[in-house]
Amino acid sequence: MEPILIDIHCHANLYLTLDQVIKEAKSVGVEKIIAVGMSALSIERILEISDIYEEIFPALGIHPEEVRMNNDIENQLDSVINIIRENKNKICAIGEIGLDHHFVKEKELYPLQKRIFEIMLSLAQELKLPVNLHTKGAEKLVFDMLPSFNIPNVNIHWYSGPEEFLNLGIDRGYFFSITPAISYSPAVKKTVEKTDEQFLLLESDGPVKYSGKTGTPAMIRDVLKAISKFKDIPPDELENQIFENTKKIFPKLF
Ligand SMILES: [Zn+2]
């Protein structure tokens, strides 16, 4: 099988011109896109677009910022859990889930955020699915919680936390996905520098903006080039390695 590029973390439901975004991605060899869920609303939409576009693969979960975006999330929990269970054969991962103590400043929301994360990790264990994790500002807590769950594989998305936990994640064999922020972020560069290429993945986190430009799956072609330069690995060889990594952690994409 020829290697292809795969954007393993994209909020594809948020684009107004998804047709165009997919077309651009394919023009640079990005053939598959994992669309990650965030909320009760977005998971319905993600299932819809994955039915429409063969390039889109759904990952479902509740984002840690949902506790402050959605006052009703506690009441919606059961329905979200049901939707995830009902679609277990369609989804390739549980995500985007995790803890956030950086954007979520309201400490009174932390217990609920933690409870939701625990439920999502239990679902991943029950359904034998990998997880796609957001850890911003709560790296220690997330890393402390993970060993209690038996989860096939862990993907840490856009890691930018302390080096101590980067090292711990590397020791535990977690996969780190790299965004276009590699062009300016010292923390992302550090992650690339320290992580063996056997544990790297590519992601756009689109439509998040990078230096004012809307992030798209097509941009991961340049992320690959940047990693290749940074680690001094020929682009073809790296593309092949990252393709193998992606197959290993997300077998349901194939
Ligand atoms: Zn994201």
- Domains of the chain by residue range: 5-253
Backbone dihedral angles phi then psi of residue 87, each to the nearest 5 degrees: -105, 20
Q: How far is the CA of 229 from the centre of ligand 1 (A)?
A: 25
CA of 220 to the centre of ligand 1 (A): 15
With CA atoms as reference, report the closest residue to 241 among 45, 71, 5: 5
CA 205–ligand 1 middle distance (angstroms): 5
Over the stretch 50-84, which tens digit does the pLDDT of each residue have? 999 999 999 999 999 999 999 999 999 999 999 99
Q: Are 67 and 99 in contact (CB under 8 A)?
A: no
What angle (nearest 5°) sits at the alpha carbon of residue 170, between those of residues 58 and 63?
A: 35
Q: Which residues of 30-56 are buried (b: 16+ CB within 10 A; e: fewer)?
A: bbbbbbbbbbbebbebbbebbeebebb
pLDDT category, 32, cuts 50, 70, 90? very high
The alpha helices in the chain, defined as continuous H runs, are: 18-27, 40-52, 66-69, 73-86, 110-127, 139-145, 163-172, 186-194, 220-231, 235-249
Q: Is the pLDDT of residue 38 over 80?
A: yes
Q: What is the model's pLDDT at position 128?
A: 98
Place of tokens 């759904």: 58
- Give the mean pLDDT of the chain: 97
For ligand 1, the distance from its centroid to the CA atom of residue 236, given in whole angstroms, is 27
Nearest CA-CA partner of 250 in 150, 125, 154, 122: 154
Q: Cα of 95 to ligand 1 centre, how many Å? A: 9
The two tokens of residue 191 are 């992650």
CA 248–ligand 1 middle distance (angstroms): 21
11, 205 Cβ separation under 8 angstroms: yes
Give distance in angstroms: CA of 150 to centre of ligand 1. 23
Say how many Å lie between the CA of residue 10 and the centre of ligand 1: 6
pLDDT of residue 184: 96
Ligand 1 midpoint to CA 185 (Å) = 17
> In CATH, what number does 5-253 get?
3.20.20.140
In this predicted model, what pLDDT tens digit does every residue of 106-161 receive, in sequence order? 999 999 999 999 999 999 999 999 999 999 999 999 999 999 999 999 999 999 99
Separation of CA 62 and ligand 1 centre (Å): 11
pLDDT of the residue at 12: 98
pLDDT score at 2? 86
Distance 82 CA to ligand 1 centre (A): 22
| Distance from residue 103's CA to the centre of ligand 1 (Å) | 13
Ligand 1 mean position to 133 CA, how many Å? 9
Confidence of residue 41 (pLDDT cuts 50, 70, 90): confident
For the chain, what percent of residues have pLDDT higher than 70?
100
Helix, coil or strand: residue 162: coil
User: What one-letter code names the amino acid at 117?
Assistant: F
Order of strands across the sheet that contains 175-178 = 5-10, 30-36, 56-60, 93-98, 131-134, 154-157, 175-178, 200-202
Confirm if 100 and 65 have CB atoms less than 8 A apart.
yes
pLDDT digits (tens, 9 = 90+) for 174-209: 999 999 999 999 999 999 999 999 999 999 999 999
CA 134 to ligand 1 center in whole angstroms: 7
